[in-house]
Structure 1
Amino acid sequence: MSESRKFYVYGLFVVVGIIFLFRLLYLQVLDNTYETASNSIRAIPDVPMRGQVYDRNGKLIVFNTLVYDLYVTPSKVRVADTLALCNLFKITRPKFDSLMQAARTFSYRKPSLFLRQLSKQEFARIQDALVDYPGFDYQKSSIRTYSAPTLAHALGYVSEISKKQLDDQDYPYYRQGDLVGQSGLEKFYEEQLRGRRGVRYVMQDVNGVAKGAWKDGEMDTVAMAGQNLYTSIDLDLQQYVDSLMLHKAGAVVAIEPSSGEVIAITSAPSYDPALFATRDFSKNYTALQKNPYRPLYNRAVMGSYRPGSTFKTVQALVAMQEGVIGPGSVFSHAGAPMKCHGHGALSGVNSAIQWSCNPYFYHVFRRMIYANAEKNAFKASSIGLKKWHEYTEKFGFGQKLGVDLPSEAKGVLPSVEYYDKRIGKNQWRFGQIYSLSIGEGELLITPLKLANLAATIANRGWFKVPHLVKGVGKNNNPLPEYNEKHETGVARYYYEPVVNGMEMAVVRGTVARGAMIPGIQMCGKTGTSQNKKGKDHSIFIAFAPKDNPKIAIAVFVENAGFGGFAAAPVASLAIERYLNGHVQRKAYEQEWKNKNFLQNVILPRSQQPKPKNVAPTPLKPEATIVHQTAPKSTAVPAP
């Protein structure tokens, strides 16, 4: 080999050697990835505390309690005495075997959750003994703790992330065993509430025993707690409304009209949110899921009901704006296929609202549909309904309002396309849809939307999207979309006859006299939602005071009959409590707290309670048996 070729070969070896030296220098000195990935360095995630939740007055609703989660890595487990370990953890041998099998199924070499939510006392009992059981480790965590057993549906709950949720992550933030918001505000504001995860690097020996922080914690990152939520909920009013809805199925939604802030929101029957913040989550969830009265169902934002006569307010406003009637328009009962409620002569829109006259609004709706005076009834119906739909949609019906709660229902606002599909194009006309005139037929709304309607009328023509959170991270800092005004397109002066009619409905109209609030001008409208199974649903919308209103409310009481009978008293008591801070009508208050309408709910035969076969108890001759039942209701003439 020539000298020149030797030089090139030696030079090549030298260059390769230098490259390897630089690579080793980079891996062992400059690049921390190699060291953190080695067996001697263990990364321990630092899970942040979730943000807390406050009410509008600064009262704490949801906070965190420190607990410990126990993890297991199957490949590292060395257990000499399984029974002793089971006794230490206070679990049975079959339970231990099933937990280990689940861990192996997930991963043989990666840690997975073994026992969740050990209290400080439980963890202190096992902490020292863990060193004798390789493969078991712990992490600090927290559970949601509630200051009061209320707002279960609105707050929502957190639970362990599912495999599907893990797989569907856009960004790999969550790990197996992490808690994540599954419903309510916990889900809607998950990114804000969860905070930012940190990590600690710990040196350990060959036995997995920690020997201290790696590089004195230089590479550690601190967990950042989640942002707090400042809600618009008035906790005192919320608990009061809950008490009024005991023994009832339905919903109550109260809104501050000027801001769209939700003051109270109840879905009944409800449950204690603390039931989902324990190790017995699955057991408690299953029990509630099997309850025939559906306590897990959020009726306030998911329940779809016919609005009944409360919808007459919208019919009057749209008809006046379109010019088909005026504030003083009067109609006779002749030609209407529906009956009225036995009132006196009407003097216009305000009287029609006051007495909730069915024939009046039949003629109003008919005139709207046929206002174009087309000879072809089928074509005329399509043109008129399209115009009516455009106006009504601006009140928020037939769509999601955008409340900061998941699972909001759209409801149904029938359109030309809707009837074309169901009946046939050019095959339907007014005679098949006239039930819409009084809020029946195919029209479906949620309690939230009716509360928003009450707020819209209170504002005389506009609303802000209802929302429960008025501040994220700091008070008075809502999401931008909740500051936007939405106009209905109906002129302000057309609201006055409707507002006056709603006031007179309370003073002398379809509302039960006992629902009048001393010293407060409440404007309200009753409604009765037709129900094929059992009694009709009782509905009432209201706002107060009449001028510069502070609260708008919608109340639904299922299977309770007329709107003026059941829903109106609940609304009036809630309004009085909110505006005055107390209720003067103590006897009336107690009467409605004691009312039981759940007994009117007709359950499927398979879910009806079975009579218990209990042997009778011997009674003394003078003893009597008292059967506690809800007082019988007195029918009040209301729509």
Structure 2
Amino acid sequence: MKYLEGRKYVIQAIFLAIGAVYLIKLFYIQVLDDSYKTAAESNAMRRVVQYPFRGLMYDREGRLLVENKPVYDLMVVPKEAKVIDTLKFCQVMGITLPEYREKIKAAKTYSYVKPSPFLQRLTNEEFAQIQDNLVDFPGFYISARTVRGYPHQSLSHALGYIGEISPRQLEDSSFKGYMPGDYLGVSGLEKEYEKFLMGRRGVKYTMVNVRGIEKGSFKNGEYDTLSIAGQNLITTIDLELQKYGEKLMAGKVGSIVAIEPQTGEILSMISAPYYDPSLLTGKELGNNYMKLLKDPVKPLFNRPTMATYPPGSIFKLAQALVAMQEGTLTANTGYPCNWSLVKCSHRHPYPANLGIAIEQSCNPYFYQVFRSVVNKGRSTNVYQDAKLGLDAWREHITSFGFASQLGIDFPQEKKGLMPGSKFYDKIYGPKGWKFPTIYSISIGQGETGVTPLQMANFAAIIANRGYYYTPHLIRSVGEKGKPLPEYSVKHHTTVAPQHFLPVIDGMERVVQSGTAQFAKLNHIGVALCGKTGTVQNPHGKDHSVFIAFAPKENPKIAIAVYVENAGGGAVAAAPMASLMVEKYLTDSIKTAPRKRWEEWLIDGGFYKIN
């Protein structure tokens, strides 16, 4: 009997335990877990995201640069898509059965009861082909949105492109608020100004029947929220000038950057080779991106901000300015063209002053100018003197924005390189170098590197007689907005304004009677001030470089042109820059000889003579 009595208590304990488990589970389902409630409500109510219109972009004259075009996403709620004819669905949608299974699996991984994208960026034609069949496929519905469109084929690098947010970004707290399927800026201005362009999503709740057919709004739209469009951007770009520069650079490698000196506004930013921005939009974005990425000429690489080159002879202007500030050079200082120091590219008379030296781009002259700064006599020890001199030189040089990011409103900007004493100490040791070791810096070679953007900014600094505004691509956020405050700050160099005048006179001589006479703009009554450069290239033909500004008084445009493997600066870069300046100042190319120059440059004639 005692044995039976014990079994009774065991059985009672088991029943009590089972009952407790059921009670706990019921409490969890009804009180703690809302998934069943969500699933039940999803049978009658659908939450549809209302995507905002992304902000548009315009050029400085109000011409549309970026617009929005409608596309359609096919969304799926996995719980509602259980009972469908899968084979018919694949046939209608133009996909394979494995593709269907993969996409459904991804949707279920995200959420069983929430909608997620199944097929994206359907065109109007594709949408029309499937919309009548959607009634047969419960759980699937269309969500309208927009992608970028372009009424032109220019400015691809600067504008950038948008793409779908990645799973890794969704896990990043800095992308809080984004959802799977959302688009965001991936590069260029689209990325830099994402927070202004993106706008804010809205939500619309609709009633649906068991087949997924909409039956009207939920509670008369009481819980709906309107989407808010992104803000428009007014850029500093002159679209017609941009198109013209791209035409000149067609089939070439290099860049053109033009800046308005008085404001720092970028008028054109050309990276060659370039591509049609429409390639990176719509359904073929991924395929087109991979083609561009694998292209050996690297059309995705933005050379104006990311390529660094030796500046070549344009750097002689900086050497002169630093030397005058240091008191080792005057406008009337003469140095012989002594080939025993360094070879000179030009046969010319004795450079009796700075203007002639700039006009003739005399290498030995600027060798001696640089030496006068480095070996100024700050110390009795030759090695210590070189260190002190080079560091004093570098302090002046970096005030021009070299060896640092200028701060352009654009993602990814390289600093470039301007060496100081620590740089050479690491290579040669504290007593292993002096001026003869580093003399190549004097003519913009050796351990120097600048971006085309820095070159154009350097031209703007000279045009302004010693100061610059941070180069920027956006004039205002919103049609009546203002530039961001950081682009209204004036940055002064360490060189006094009076030292710029003899350099400017020398730059005018370069065009009128020196190494860049092909760049004259006398026929339109404009004094162009410029400087040529031929940059040594150990991998092939030399690179052609030219910086300039115009007019001489009250300058309206500063420009840098860099053409890889094109030979001397006077042959390719200088005439190209002068055509850009003429186009900007007068809206056209005025004379028949200039039009022949234009045709020759577009044809790449300079490649044939080198």
Q: Could you say which residue in structure 2 is the equivalent of 1:443?
A: 448
Distance 2:186 2:179 in 1: 16
1:520 aligns with 2:529: no
Which of residues 575, 591, 598 in structure 1 aligns to 2:600?
Answer: 591
Q: Could you say which residue in structure 2 is the equivalent of 1:274?
A: 278
Distance 1:101 1:462 in 2: 59
Which SS does the other structure have where 1:395 is aligned? coil
1:194 aligns with 2:198: yes
Which SS does the other structure have where 1:71 is aligned? strand
Distance 2:226 2:275 in 1: 36
Distance 2:92 2:522 in 1: 62
The CA deviation at 1:169 is 3.0
Runs (4+) off by over 6 Å: 34-37
8 Å contact kept, 2:242–2:269: yes
AA matched with 2:598 = E
CA RMSD of aligned residues (A): 2.0
Task: Give the 3 Å change call, closer, same or farther, for CA 435–260 of structure 1 in structure 2.
Answer: same
1:228 aligns with 2:205: no
Distance 1:367 1:359 in 2: 12
Distance 2:570 2:503 in 1: 18
8 Å contact kept, 2:333–2:353: yes
The CA deviation at 1:213 is 1.7
Which of residues 251, 254, 263 in structure 2 aligns to 1:259?
Answer: 263
Fraction of identical pairs, as percent: 49
The CA deviation at 1:249 is 0.3
AA matched with 2:609 = K
The CA deviation at 1:36 is 11
The CA deviation at 1:38 is 3.8
AA matched with 1:632 = I
Q: Could you say which residue in structure 1 is the equivalent of 2:178?
A: 174
Q: Could you say which residue in structure 1 is the equivalent of 2:390?
A: 385
1:118 aligns with 2:118: no
AA matched with 1:592 = L
Q: Could you say which residue in structure 2 is the equivalent of 1:70?
A: 74
Distance 2:154 2:144 in 1: 27
| Number of equivalent positions | 569
Question: Gaps spanning 5+ residues in structure 1: where?
Answer: 1-26, 28-33, 598-629, 634-639
Which SS does the other structure have where 1:490 is aligned? coil
Q: Could you say which residue in structure 2 is the equivalent of 1:20?
A: none
Distance 1:475 1:400 in 2: 29
Distance 2:94 2:228 in 1: 34
Q: Could you say which residue in structure 2 is the equivalent of 1:546?
A: 552
* Higher helix fraction (1 or 2): 2
Distance 2:205 2:504 in 1: 66
Q: Deviations over 1:393-415 (max 9, x none)?
A: 11000010011110111111112
Q: Could you say which residue in structure 1 is the equivalent of 2:369?
A: 364
Q: Could you say which residue in structure 2 is the equivalent of 1:573?
A: 579
The CA deviation at 1:589 is 1.0
Q: Could you say which residue in structure 1 is the equivalent of 2:493?
A: 488
AA matched with 1:560 = A
AA matched with 1:99 = K
Question: Gaps spanning 5+ residues in structure 2: where?
Answer: 1-30, 32-36
Q: Deviations over 1:514-573 (max 9, x none)?
A: 655522210000111221101011000000111111000000000011111110011011
Q: Could you say which residue in structure 2 is the equivalent of 1:307?
A: 311
Task: Give the 3 Å change call, closer, same or farther, for CA 596–138 of structure 1 in structure 2.
Answer: farther
Task: Give the 3 Å change call, closer, same or farther, for CA 37–420 of structure 1 in structure 2.
Answer: farther
The CA deviation at 1:512 is 4.5
AA matched with 2:453 = L
TM score, norm. by length of structure 1: 0.86
AA matched with 1:283 = N
Which SS does the other structure have where 1:433 is aligned? helix
8 Å contact kept, 2:512–2:520: no
TM score, norm. by length of structure 2: 0.90
Q: Deviations over 1:132-186 (max 9, x none)?
A: 2122122111010101100000000001111111111335211111111000000
Which SS does the other structure have where 1:127 is aligned? helix
Distance 2:587 2:456 in 1: 21
Distance 1:538 1:255 in 2: 20
The CA deviation at 1:101 is 4.0
The CA deviation at 1:82 is 2.5
Distance 2:175 2:39 in 1: 22
Distance 1:421 1:188 in 2: 37
* Pairing of 1:21-60 with structure 2 (within 5 A): 38-39=41-42, 40-60=44-64
Q: Could you say which residue in structure 1 is the equivalent of 2:566?
A: 560
Which SS does the other structure have where 1:453 is aligned? helix
1:155 aligns with 2:154: no
Q: Could you say which residue in structure 2 is the equivalent of 1:293?
A: 297
8 Å contact kept, 2:325–2:495: yes
Q: Could you say which residue in structure 1 is the equivalent of 2:351?
A: 346
Q: Could you say which residue in structure 2 is the equivalent of 1:18?
A: none
1:478 aligns with 2:483: yes
Distance 1:344 1:529 in 2: 23
Distance 2:500 2:39 in 1: 69
1:631 aligns with 2:605: no
The CA deviation at 1:476 is 5.7
Which SS does the other structure have where 1:125 is aligned? helix
The CA deviation at 1:343 is 1.2
Which of residues 241, 246, 258 in structure 2 aligns to 1:242?
Answer: 246
Distance 2:558 2:429 in 1: 40
Q: Deviations over 1:94-117 (max 9, x none)?
A: 443443344345444443322111
